[in-house]
Chain A
């Protein structure tokens, strides 16, 4: 299972990494904070950590630390546009409840 990107999301990530000029992939994780318990972490990855889990999705290497995985197992990351705003959207099957803004969640 792991964590996957949609094809659109993968295309954007590849594009961003190419323009940034460095980076080996995308790091996705969670951390405790925010109004509803957990918050997502979405970062460029420059180094591979020893215990990182790796998932390949449409040519993008997705890195997840093992502690984060249970919270986001089976998640799909999409790239969408809403009005003038655009960005990544997390479709996480583990989420039971999210705060109104969707920036933090509970499992």
Chain B
């Protein structure tokens, strides 16, 4: 029977009406999925008990898509088709990514109608967009969640970095759509971490979120007022993370053993050992590193915590610089910060916690698992949005991270919605024509804080046509900007005298067109065959288990109807089916089921006879005929 979870008072779901919602941390290095169960936010693990799914996707020549650990193992053997850190390419064009020479991928530059395009990757399975790659990660998390919750998901809250612009947010939403997930809300990662710590239950305050992940460092300053988190400032270093600490240990090993450049295999070996040593040093005073290189050379070193601190000192210093900048941007002082939240596995290192504590003059919050805290917060928000909490609870609002505006004459940006406006929101402003007899107006929607259009990000361009000819400055054109709860924008322009109107849903320039999405959805139906196969395998396993249960039950109840040989035969076939289940081979399970069914036919017959005899005993024919 179904397994039930405890609900909030008065919120028990009707049968089959469970509102299952999850929070997803779609990370650069690792991704996680969490949900609220029995009132507590928990991360869902896979069957091996691993919570973190490496954000790695590999496409193979035979059309397979491998995700997570299964893809990660091939990272060095098949770098071109093994996509890591795809988040860095989401909603990004070639010019945004900059130097691609160090990346192993074959980039394809695409151009959409308005002259922009998200970068794509050429793999052995064809050209893939970062949206499709991310969708593979989301699909796996979705199926993990559906297995764990035994039901279909109502929706998900997906987290994004606070500095993600509209194009990157739209790309994230598109990926979710492609993975068949209903996005309840996109939520800023630092906001999610703050929610996980329950900081939103306090009334007011300014908090810092220090997020040192595998390969990126982000610092966010949040202000909470009346249940709304405002992002006051973000800063960071997109090329600094836990991996750099491994690298430092790796270099130390090379130096200690006077080694020069190693082959890729040895480098990988030493980096793995360096990471293990780093993790060990979190708990222990020293870590021993031993290895035999492919040259036969023996490595045996002991790294003490003090030495490691000295090695990593300037890496930690590098995180403090963005911290100071963020505080300066927010026009705040260290003493204004009410609490500091630690996010990312690298913040487990005691020297990081120590440095952050010293900087802020208070110990940071570390009691939640820093790898999971973002997903946990997203799950709490998802549970709320799905309607699993009572109405008097808070409904958290988010803010737009960057101002939205229009280009005006002279290449200047006119801000319509200032940054940090709480969403959803709508604002309108009037514009006019600047030439006599002007009948059309071009609207260029931009995002950013800078004054010059060239420094802002272009989101969309559209035209309002059919303006009645008037002298310059006489026409009144009202432009309305509307931002929905996900931070996505609708722009409408209306000429007030004639009432002509035109509107655009800002598909940010780097987002996908509907046609693209349709195509991808069609492609995903091509995988329907595999999905069906997987389903039939699962159904067969269940059926086999049911058969085993019922035979075991029958043996216990009516075992005496069998002679020794018959019983031995049935037991042998049971063992066979159990063994076949272990192999999970569909054909052999089927064969074993048939065999077990065959040997139990006469047993079933005998049981039937017995129960009929029992039912008829002591009754005469006429009794039975009357019934």
Judge if A104 is at the interface, Cβ distance under 8 Å: yes
Q: A16-B39, A35-B16 are in contact. Are A83 and B3 (CB under 8 A)?
A: no
**A44 contacts B8, C-beta separation under 8 Å:** yes
Please tell me if the beta carbons of B39 and A88 are within 8 angstroms of each other in the complex.
no
Q: Nearest chain A CB to B19's CB is how many angstroms away?
A: 14
Question: Counting CB contacts under 8 A, is A107 at the interface?
Answer: no
Min C-beta distance of A84 to chain B, whole Å = 4
A38 CB → nearest B CB, Å: 9
Tell me the bound Cα distance from A26 to B39 in angstroms: 12
A69 contacts chain B at the CB level, 8 A cutoff:
no
Q: Which residue of B lies closest to A45 (CB)?
A: B9
Complex Cα–Cα for A35 and B16 (A): 9
Chain B residues with Cβ below 8 Å from A39 are 12, 14-15
Asked whether, in the complex, the Cβ of A33 is within 8 Å of the Cβ of B39, the reply is no
- Quick check: B11 and A43 within 8 Å, CB to CB? yes
Residues of chain B contacted by A19 (CB below 8 angstroms): 39-40
Instruction: Return A90 CB to nearest CB of chain B, in Å.
Output: 7
The complex places the Cα of A85 from the Cα of B44 at a distance, in Å, of 9
Q: How many Å lie between the Cα of A90 and that of B4 in the bound state?
A: 9
Contacts of B150 in A (CB 8 A): 85
Q: Give A89's nearest chain B residue, CB to CB.
A: B3
Residues of B within 8 A of A85 (CB): 3, 147-150
Q: Known: A27-B9, A83-B147. Contact between A98 and B15, CB under 8 A?
A: no
Bound together, the chains give a CA A27 to CA B8 distance in angstroms of: 10
- Which residues on B sit within 8 Å (CB–CB) of A102? 1-2
Check B4 against A84 for contact (C-beta < 8 Å). no
Query: Would you call B6 an interface residue if the criterion is a C-beta within 8 Å of the partner chain's C-beta atoms?
Result: yes
Q: Are A43 and B148 in contact (CB under 8 A)?
A: no
Q: Are B5 and A88 in contact (CB under 8 A)?
A: yes
A41 adjacent to B2 (CB under 8 Å): no
Cβ distance A30 to chain B, nearest Cβ, rounded Å:
10
Contact check, B2 vs A103: say whether CB atoms are below 8 A apart.
Answer: yes
Q: Check if A80 is an interface residue, CB within 8 A of chain B.
A: yes
* CB-based contact B10/A43 at 8 Å: yes
- Any A CB within 8 A of the CB of B128: no
- Let me know if A42 and B14 touch, CB within 8 A: no
A96 at the interface (CB under 8 A from B): no
Please indicate the chain B residues that have their CB under 8 angstroms from the CB of A42 in the complex.
Answer: 4-7, 12
**Cα–Cα, bound, A13→B15 (Å):** 21
Q: How far is the CB of A77 from chain B (nearest CB, A)?
A: 9
- Grouping DSSP codes into helix (H, G, I), strand (E, B) and loop, the B interface class, with mixed when no group exceeds half, is loop
How far is the CB of B535 from the nearest CB of chain A, in Å? 15
Interchain CB contact under 8 A, A103 and B7: no
> Once the chains are docked, how many angstroms separate the CA of A86 from the CA of B8?
18
Q: How far is the CB of A63 from chain B (nearest CB, A)?
A: 11
Q: Mark A11-54, 1 if CB is under 8 A from B, else 0.
A: 01100100110000011000101110001111111110000000
- Contact status A84-B15, CB under 8 Å: no
In the complex, what's the smallest C-beta–C-beta distance from B340 to chain A, in angstroms? 22
- A84 to B2 CA separation, bound complex (whole angstroms): 13
> Contacting B15 at CB < 8 Å: which of A16, A20, A35?
A35
Nearest Cβ on chain B to A76's Cβ, whole angstroms = 13
Known: A83-B47, A90-B4, A104-B15. A44 touches B9 (CB 8 A): yes
- Chain A residues, Cβ within 8 Å of B9: 27, 43-47
Q: Which residues B142-171 have CB closer than 8 A to chain A?
A: 144, 147-150
Shortest beta-carbon distance from A44 to chain B in Å = 6
CA distance A59 to B150 in the complex (A): 30
Instruction: Please determine whether A16 and B3 come into contact, CB atoms closer than 8 angstroms.
Output: no
B498 at the interface (CB under 8 A from A): no
Contact B3 A44, beta carbon cutoff 8 Å:
no
A101 touches B7 (CB 8 A): no
> Min CB distance, A10 to chain B, in Å?
13
B148 touches A88 (CB 8 A): no
B-side contacts of A89, CB under 8 Å: 1, 3-4
Whether B148 pairs with A84 at a CB distance below 8 angstroms is yes
Contact B147 A98 (CB under 8 A): no
CA of A88 to CA of B5 in the docked complex: distance in angstroms? Answer: 6
Q: A86 CA to B5 CA in the complex, in Å?
A: 9
Which 10 pairs between the two chains have the least Cβ-Cβ distance? Answer: A102-B1, A87-B3, A34-B15, A103-B15, A84-B148, A16-B38, A20-B39, A41-B12, A104-B15, A84-B147
19 cross-chain CB contacts under 8 A: A39-B14, A40-B4, A40-B12, A41-B12, A43-B6, A43-B8, A43-B11, A83-B47, A84-B147, A86-B3, A87-B4, A87-B5, A88-B6, A89-B4, A101-B2, A101-B15, A102-B2, A103-B4, A103-B16
A residues with a Cβ closer than 8 A to B are 12-13, 16, 19-20, 26-27, 31, 33-35, 39-47, 80, 82-90, 98-99, 101-104
